[in-house]
Amino acid sequence: MYNPPLVPGGFDVPEVLETPRMRLRKLCVKDAEKDFDAVIASEERLRTVFRPGGHWPLGLTLEQNIAELGWHETEFNLRTSFAYTVVDLDETEVMGCMYIYPTAKSRYDAEVTMWVRQSRVDEGLDNHLFETVERWIADVWPLQNPAYRGRRISHAQWQALADEGRPPR
């Protein structure tokens, strides 16, 4: 099923956002090895970030990750969803990811999720990423009411919301 663009045609989708601590940029297939390393190093944490009791990324292979990143890149180009890698400023390490997806949940026009590498949580990068992204979405993106599942709305509350019949991701 084809999803319509998430943002209006006239919106210039940002490809990069930078702070003194990190760079967010369009996630591409060329990031697959560094992204895979970050995912595997954070496997236990990631099983709870998106869904409590979730199974991803258990059993993930590099080949599967390449395919997933290719799909993210395609969706970005089609403007149906947007995946960003979070890298250090010299781009030697993937430190996490951020995603903007369409949603069928009532009251929301998008779902924004993100994660940081387990080794970066204690240095406050997760909070820095969330605060930066929330401000960026509010100031730059044409979204009226994005949901921050697991942050501004609990996973349980999110699951309890009714779908409006729009195709979810």
The torsion angle over the Cα atoms of residues 61, 63, 65 and 68, rounded to 10 degrees, is -130
Percentage of the chain exceeding pLDDT 90: 73
| Residues in CB range of 35: below 8 A, 6 or more apart | 27, 65, 69, 85, 94, 97
- Please report whether residue 104 resides in a domain: yes
DSSP β-ladder status, 110-116 and 146-147? parallel
In a domain? residue 166: no
Residue 35, classed as helix, strand or coil, is: helix
pTM of the model: 0.91
Q: Hey, what are 54's tokens?
A: 């979730």
Contacts of 151 (CB under 8 A, 6+ apart): 130
Is the pLDDT at 52 greater than 80? The verdict is: no
Residue 8 included in any domain: no
Q: 97: which strand partners?
A: 85, 115
Across 69-76, average pLDDT: 96
The reported pLDDT for the residue numbered 169 is 45
Is 165 among the domain residues? Answer: no
- The answer to whether residue 141 sits within a structural domain is yes
Question: How many domains, the chain?
Answer: 1
User: The domain that contains 91 carries what CATH number?
Assistant: 3.40.630.30
pLDDT digit string, tens, across residues 88-144: 999 999 999 999 999 988 789 999 999 999 999 999 999 999 999 999 999 999 999
Q: What is the pLDDT of residue 94?
A: 97
Q: Show the beta-strand stretches assigned E in the chain.
A: 16-18, 23-26, 82-87, 94-101, 110-116, 146-147
Would 136 be classed as within a structural domain? yes
Domain of residue 35: give its range.
Answer: 16-160
